[in-house]
Amino acid sequence: MDAIDAMDIRGAMTKQALRIGVIADTHGLFDRAILRHFHGVDQILHAGDIGDRSVITQLERLAPVTAVSGNVDRYEESGYPPETVLELGGRRIALRHILYQGGKLTKEGRAFLDRERLDVCIFGHTHQPKVEWDGATLLFNPGSAGPRRFKLPRGLGILTIANGMITPTHIVLGDRSE
């Protein structure tokens, strides 16, 4: 084993948990509570319906941001892709705005999950917080961090990846932004 391999092994042994801030459906609103809840995250993932570029600009002050567009963003017109897959913490994680509609997994959503073979798929659109397993894939909707709608709670999420485990956490925001 050479010196580089030894450093890589020691680095892997001392690596702490990866904390990922998860947000969706901001609809142009940046709630200052996000600053508190996403403080110290390693990455932020926005699952679409951003609403205004200033939301991403403010999130980028906290951590690197990966975002996809949603129907409010007019998809590709926003400059963000409609879906993306990335690797974080050794896991394949996807962002896609619409996975569910009318309480059911869409045909396009099913095809996407089958095609991509993901560890996690983060989505939005329904404004309804959700944690569900689809086979080996964790489906995670943080809820809407934008203005309250449909009598649903406002929310964010944190994904923690540590020791090979993925732990999703929902964070309930107040009815009004801070």
**Cα 93 from chain centroid?**
9
SS3 content of the chain, % helix, strand, coil (to 5): 25, 35, 40
Nearest to 48 by CA among 144, 139, 120: 144
Domain residue spans of the chain: 3-173
What is the dihedral sign for C-alpha 57, 58, 62, 65? negative
Q: Which helix (H) or strand (E) holds 99?
A: none
Quote the pLDDT of residue 74. Answer: 85
Neighbouring CB atoms inside 10 A of 146's CB total 25
Neighbouring CB atoms inside 10 A of 89's CB total 20
Mean pLDDT of the chain: 91
Please, which residues bridge with residue 141 across strands? 130
Q: Is the pLDDT of residue 53 over 90?
A: yes
DSSP state, residue 101: E
pLDDT (tens digit per residue) in 81-92: 999 999 999 999
Q: Is the pLDDT of residue 10 over 80?
A: no
Average pLDDT over residues 157-163: 96
Q: Is the pLDDT of residue 12 over 70?
A: no
Q: Is the pLDDT of residue 75 over 50?
A: yes
pLDDT (tens digit per residue) in 13-47: 445 899 999 999 999 999 999 999 999 999 999 99
Average pLDDT over residues 49-56: 96
Q: Is the pLDDT of residue 2 over 60?
A: no
Quote the pLDDT of residue 7. Answer: 38
Average pLDDT over residues 117-145: 97
Percentage with pLDDT > 90 across the chain: 81
Quote the pLDDT of residue 9. Answer: 40
Quick one: fold of 3-173? Purple Acid Phosphatase; chain A, domain 2 (3.60.21)
Neighbouring CB atoms inside 10 A of 9's CB total 11
Quote the pLDDT of residue 164. Answer: 87
Average pLDDT over residues 124-132: 96
